[in-house]
Structure 1
Amino acid sequence: MSKNLPFRIERPISATCERVFDAWTQDESTRQWLFRTLNGTLIDSANDPRPGGALAITEERNGEEARHDCHWIELERPGRLVFQFFDVPATLTLTPTDQGCRAVLEHEVDPDYAERTLQGWQGIFDGMINSMADVPEMIVRRRLQAPPSVVFPLFTDPDSLAKWWGPNGFRTVTHSMDFREGGQWIFTMHGPDGKAWENVVDYLEIVPNELIRFGHGEPDAIHFENRISFAPTNDGGTEVVLQLRFKTMERKRDAMPYAVPGGHQTLGRLAEQLGE
């Protein structure tokens, strides 16, 4: 059996330490994102924020019940939370920053499961940020088997984008594309119901095989900024992260019902295009 190794994940969050602490200690919050999966159905949840109290989520996944049972060990608002994670204690430390707070989660992990554990916690933090009504951003990510040198070009060519860009059932028609910093992509998205949406992308920053940052909106208004990063994984693949930042919380609330599922579906179509 492999000896456990230290594990650490750090995330900046655009919210106060108090707000993040409360998100972790309220059942109506954690039941939305803690140990949740994209296709799972919530069966039961518990969050009793006191030493010895339960922290649990039960989902139905592919017809089977999956249960995560943890319990609280220490709670010191607003800077420290300790809970039992499987058979090891996990410590979440929250430190104030100028932009909100920095969250650091630490525990031990079997080295054979380190990469899976990292991806799991990244998804959990993404879900928490997406669910927080006072943080004007949303995050969607997907791991792909192809390297960044293969994935990145599929975002730069209109013929490639026509094959996968957009949620399930949508069709993208490009009118013009100037893929460079300061350039624009103008296109129409046709929905399965026959409706059409005119889109404009203003490219702000491009780092080949690493990053595309752009403003996204309609011909008369940019509604949000999208930061798409391409990170190589240890197994030779790519982790693609979509980070959408909105100008106002109202914009985020309006977009929430379709932006996150639409982002997952879009990256799913990208994976299919890559033969995954």
Structure 2
Amino acid sequence: MNETTITAQPDTPFIDVVREFDATPAQVYRAWTDPDLIPQWMGPHGFTMELIEYDATTGGRYRYVHRDADGEYGFRGVFHTVVANKRIVQTFQYDGRPNDVSLESLTFEDLGGRTRVRTRSVFPSVESRDGAIASGMENGLRDSMARLEKVLTSQ
């Protein structure tokens, strides 16, 4: 089973995530950018997702809302660079912390039929990064990656 590695070095504003998938870069990229597939895997277990906008092209935008019994949680951002099967650079903003916009860079590394996804999130400060970690984002991220693995297996 593939594990999601999440690294947040002390006193830095970065979060690095690495996960390998038993799928080609084209398959993983499609799951990451197809509005029909996004709600099937993005978000923690037990949450529903409403995808309001998702235009995964350079200059495109996204907005979605996760809901559970305790409430709703909105997220938004802009795609700054989208290179099919290779790289995505986007902003990420949680509506509950509107001043803590992070910049995320994702790469899809071809491992010969498998793919290694690397994500680096850069926050405006260490405090902002620590706030994201304290929010429970690690659990949501791990759940999302496990759900993505299942979506890729079913394709």
User: Is TM-score (shorter-chain normalized) higher than 0.5?
Assistant: yes
User: Hey, what does 1:246 align to over in structure 2?
Assistant: 123
Q: Give structure 1 stretches of 5+ with no counterpart.
A: 1-37, 40-122
Q: CA RMSD in A?
A: 2.1
Alignment CA distance shift 1:222-1:205 (3 Å): farther
How many residues of Structure 1 are paired with residues of Structure 2 in the alignment? 149
User: Hey, what does 1:233 align to over in structure 2?
Assistant: 111
After TM superposition, the score normalised by the length of structure 2 is 0.85
**1:209 aligned residue (81, 85, 100):** 85
Measure how far apart 1:196 and its partner are: 0.5
In 1, are the aligned partners of 2:39 and 2:50 still within 8 Å (CA)?
Answer: yes
Measure how far apart 1:252 and its partner are: 0.8
Pairing 1:53-72 to 2, within 5 Å after superposition: none
**Higher Rg:** 1
Measure how far apart 1:259 and its partner are: 2.5
Measure how far apart 1:227 and its partner are: 1.4
In the alignment, structure 1 residue 156 sits paired with structure 2 residue 72: no
Corresponding letter in the other structure for 1:146: A
Corresponding letter in the other structure for 1:198: G
CA distance in 2, matches of 1:177, 1:246: 22
After TM superposition, the score normalised by the length of structure 1 is 0.50
Corresponding letter in the other structure for 1:148: P
CA distance in 2, matches of 1:190, 1:172: 6
Higher relative contact order (Cα pairs below 8 Å, separated by 6+ residues) = 2
Q: Give structure 2 stretches of 5+ with no counterpart.
A: none
Measure how far apart 1:134 and its partner are: 0.9
Pairing 1:89-238 to 2, within 5 Å after superposition: 127=7, 130=8, 132-191=9-68, 193-218=69-94, 221=99, 223-234=101-112, 236-238=113-115
Measure how far apart 1:250 and its partner are: 0.8
Pairing 1:3-42 to 2, within 5 Å after superposition: none
